[in-house]
Amino acid sequence: MSANYDQLLDATLQHLQELKSRGVRYVPVSPETLRALSQPGQNPPAARMASAPTPSQSGIGIRKLGPDAPALAVGELPLALPGEPQSQIVNPKSPIEKAAGFAELRQRAMVCVKCSHLAASRKNVVFGVGSIEAGVMFVGEAPGADEDEQGEPFVGKAGQLLTRIIQTMGFSRDTVYIGNILKCRPDTPGQSAGNRKPTPQEMQTCIPYLHEQIDLIRPKVIVALGGTAIEGLLGKTVGITKLRGQWQTYRDTPLMPTYHPAYLLRNQALSEKRKVWEDMLAVMERLGMPTSEKQRGFFLKG
Ligand code: URA
Ligand code: URA
């Protein structure tokens, strides 16, 4: 618990420093959090917080943002893209609240035994990796053997390809968020290798964790990798070959369906790489990122 707390505190301070380096001087904090933070000794986290550097010592002021706070204050945070609906930026959770919510969610998922067969066969729960402040979130199907071994999503062959795609877009694994529909590897009884698709029952049981991750991160764009991600997030069983490249909506968030990187490993045709890359160019455009001519030209025939 205290190691978790220290981790959380480190992550929070690091995040505040990063915001500060980007010129942010105020972060929104709910009245409840402000109250908790200003009552040292009332409960263990608040007491420990009091002995650690406070956000104001790190040079960032905390401004109270309640229902009656001026709407202008929200505009001081670089949270919205031009033209983004206001509803996405009204009352966002503060970084502290987000980090705390995420740590609590992770703790619940890490000890989950709702699918007892998967809890019995897994080596690790694969919760997710990346930044909880990410603008873009990649969602796959489920951990494979490598991911189960390492406790991290997309680290096997398909994962390495996804990592390259992410880097070619100008991101890194640390600046996006990567997760899966299932947090545990689908078991393969009687087989020592191979993967199987999650069952509808497993997906239904596990998906609330992903919903909570998305609700906390509030990415500007979700990329759904392959048919299972689409089925899990949108409940659509229309084939991925029909849906890819066409913007969908998950709650209020734009969602781009594209092929799973494992498919690109099975089908090495340039045309298939180009389709996925065009989907990623559309994502970058949606995020307001400039693309170079070189980037736009990748995987086109010479
Ligand atoms: N495939 C997935 O869908 N997810 C992973 O984490 C790894 C491979
Ligand atoms: N076919 C599949 O089964 N999955 C993909 O992601 C793409 C094509």
Ranges under pLDDT 50 in the chain: 1, 40-89
- Cα–chain center distance at 247: 18
Q: Could you give all domains of the chain from N- to C-terminal order, each with its CATH number? A: 3-64 (no CATH), 95-296 (3.40.470.10)
* pLDDT (0 to 100) of residue 301: 83
Closest CA to ligand 1's atom 8: 154
- How much is the pLDDT for 194? 80
pLDDT in tens, 276-300: 999 999 999 999 999 999 999 999 9
**Residue 53, phi-psi category: left (phi > 0), alpha (psi -120 to 50), beta (remainder):** beta
Residue 115: which of 198, 15, 21, 14 has the closest Cα?
Answer: 198
Decide whether any atom of ligand 1 lies within 6 Å of the 158 Cβ: yes
pTM: 0.72
pLDDT at 32: 60
pLDDT in tens, 192-251: 778 899 999 999 999 999 999 999 999 999 999 999 999 999 998 899 999 999 999 999
How close is the Cα of 202 to the center of ligand 1, in Å? 15
pLDDT at 199: 98
226 Cβ inside 6 Å of ligand 2: yes
